Structure formats: C-alpha cells, structure tokens
C-alpha cells in the first residue's frame, strides 16, 4: 500500500502501483513514467500537479470513490502502455549500445 502521509508542497510524488497511478490519471493529474534501476520493477510514475489535489485524489482512491469503470480501465491501459513503451525504449537502447 502506498504511503498516506501528506505530500509536501512543491514535491512530485512517485508511485509504482499502476492501479493508484491510473486513478490519479483519471482525476486529471499529470503522470510521467520514469526509469529507476534501483527498484524492482524499474519503472515508476511521477505525479505532477497541486499537492493538495493529489492528496485529495489519493484519499478518494483509498475511500473507494465511485468512478466509471470504462474510464478507469482506459486510464489503466494508458498507464500500462507507458510502462510497455519505456521497456521497449530501454531494450532498444541496450541493443543499440
């Protein structure tokens, strides 16, 4: 489970749980995939935006806020495609280098 401490102002929280990331994306937060070789899996997501809004959206996730299932599945597929695209780019870079 992700940490539920308040998000400090000016910070950009990092998550590796695609279900949380998809919900945050569905709530119009900016999601950026990034590579972290120190983690397993090595792909994580930086969430950009207003820390208060992100915190409210995380609270909504943990309180099981109702959302449209097709909207959520679309957001989840998008997040998973970020992971796939990043893995493919890393593989290509490794093959080229």
Beta strands at 14-15 and 30-35: parallel, antiparallel or unpaired: unpaired
pLDDT tens column, 43-76: 999 999 899 999 999 999 999 999 999 999 999 9
> What would the two tokens of residue 82 be?
């970020």
DSSP state of 11: -
Helical residues (DSSP H) of 7-68, grouped into ranges: 18-26, 51-62
Q: Does the predicted model carry a pTM greater than 0.85?
A: no
Q: Where are the domains of the chain?
A: 14-96
Give strand pairing partners of 14.
Answer: 46
* Distance from the Cα of residue 8 to its chain's centroid: 18
Please give the mean pLDDT across all residues of the chain. Answer: 88
Rounded to whole angstroms, the Cα distance separating 87 from 84 reads: 5
pLDDT tens column, 2-56: 555 666 666 689 999 999 999 999 999 999 999 888 888 889 999 998 999 999 9
| 78-84: long-range pairs with CB below 8 Å, 24+ | 78/22, 78/25, 79/18, 79/21, 79/22, 79/25, 79/31, 79/45, 80/18, 82/31, 82/33, 82/43, 82/45, 83/18, 83/33, 83/41, 83/43
């Amino acid at each position: 489970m992700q940490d539920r401490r308040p998000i400090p102002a000016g910070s950009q929280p990092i998550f590796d749980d695609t279900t949380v990331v998809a919900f945050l994306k569905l709530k119009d937060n900016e999601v950026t995939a990034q590579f972290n070789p120190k983690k397993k899996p090595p792909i994580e997501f930086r969430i950009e935006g207003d820390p208060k809004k992100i915190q409210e959206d995380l609270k909504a996730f943990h309180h099981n806020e109702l959302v449209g299932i097709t909207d959520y599945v679309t957001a989840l597929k998008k997040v998973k495609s970020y992971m796939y695209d990043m893995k493919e780019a890393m593989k290509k870079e490794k093959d080229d280098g």
